[in-house]
Amino acid sequence: MTTIPTNWALYQTYLAGELVHDSYMSAIHCRPVKKLPLGGLDVDTCIALEQLANVMAKAYQNPSRSSPWALTSSLPIG
C-alpha cells in the first residue's frame, strides 16, 4: 500500500491557491505571471487553474456582463 504524507493535500492546495492568485493578479494588472514551483501539480490541473483565474479576472473587469442579474436588471418592471 502506498503511503501519502500527512501534509500532501494541504501543500497541493496551497500551490493551487498560489497559482490562481498570481495568475489572477497578473491578468488584472497586465503583468507577466511569476514562475512558481508547481511541485506535484499536473499539467491539466495547472491549465484548469489558469483558466479559472482568467475567468475570474474577466468577471472582475466587466462586472455588469458577469452578473447573473445583469439581464434582468435592465428589463422594465411591471
Instruction: State pLDDT tens for residues 67-78.
Output: 555 555 555 554
- Whether residue 3 has pLDDT greater than 60: yes
pTM above 0.75? no
Distances (CA, A) of 71 to 12, 56, 61, 62, 66: 38, 19, 17, 14, 10
Instruction: Give the domain ranges of the chain.
Output: 11-60
pLDDT tens, position by position, 12-29: 888 899 999 999 999 998
| 36, 18 Cβ separation under 8 angstroms | yes
